[in-house]
Amino acid sequence: MTDGGVRFSVDGPVARVVLDRPEVRNAQTPATWRALAKFGAELPSDVRVVIVSGKGQSFSAGLDRRLIMGEPIDGEPPLLTLGAKAPEEIHAEIAAFQGGFSWLRDPSFVSIAAVQGHAVGAGFQLALACDLRVVTPDAKFSMREPALGLVPDLGGTHPLVELIGYSRALEICATTRWVEAEEALQWGLANIVVPASELESAVADLSAALLAPLVGAVRETKALLIEAQSRSYDEQLKAEREAQARRLVELMGSFG
């Protein structure tokens, strides 16, 4: 299935999302975000791994720059025209855009970003929306929104601070500088760096490893880890007990 410059497929427990506008380095538009949100909402319940990648030499160059204040593209008005609307309308439209990213945090599956080349702005935030990032040596991340007078608003600020801390997150956002693969690995933005020729096989190996444990155990563990920082220690202990009780009940039932 192709929609909004994105190709989607599901093969058993593995779903794939491929940004497919290589002629513009997989630049994104609101149509991209709506297509992503729609796919996420319709994802089969038996999917356990979602792989997000970009066709060509770049993961994604971010927002299509022509949409800042240029002519409409494929019927999409320039994004700055949102500023002429009432605040509640602005909030509603941005919330819809965010839906294209937030579904990747769902505990039902583990999401992997396969990143090569540029991951800029919305591209950086799409990679951050995924649970894991496998990158090539030429991968380069940058949060470019402040350079345009905007803020990152597609859900990227939360995982960025989770991964690298407030000070580093502020520095790379406020300066809009590039973070290259080796630095990303050192900081925890990347889980592994592999040669470009091995990217596909490395992601396949990681997917296979994620599919090996029982699905319920992985889903419960992801849910525990996502909420860990927002809970107190005692609250997390309680959540662990509750999750384990559900696992034990399900496992006992499987022997019945």
pLDDT in tens, 77-114: 888 888 999 999 999 999 999 999 999 999 999 999 99
202 and 250 in a single domain? The answer is no
3-class secondary structure, 213: coil
22 and 71 in a single domain? The answer is yes
pLDDT (0 to 100) of residue 69: 67
Domain at 233, CATH number: 1.10.12
112 and 230 in a single domain? The answer is no
Contact 100, 180 (CB under 8 A): no
d(CA 79, CA 76): 8
Total domains in the fold of the chain: 2
145 and 160 in a single domain? The answer is yes
pTM of the model as a whole: 0.95
Domain residues for the domain of 202 are 2-211
Whether 243 shows a pLDDT value over 70: the answer reads: yes
21 and 66 in a single domain? The answer is yes
76 vs 112: which has the higher pLDDT: 112
Burial 174-204 (b: 16+ CB within 10 A, else e): eeeeebbbeebbeeebbbebbeeeebeebbe
Domain at 77, CATH number: 3.90.226.10
Contact 22, 83 (CB under 8 A): no
Whether 1 shows a pLDDT value over 80: the answer reads: no
207 and 226 in a single domain? The answer is no
| Continuous segment of H or E residues that includes residue 51 | strand 49-54
The residue type of 33 is: W
Q: DSSP 3-state helix, strand, coil percentages of the chain (rounded to 5)? A: 50, 20, 30
135 and 227 in a single domain? The answer is no
Indicate the average pLDDT of the chain.
95
Output the CA torsion 136→17→122→157 (10° steps).
-90
Write out pLDDT tens, residues 134-144. Answer: 999 999 999 99
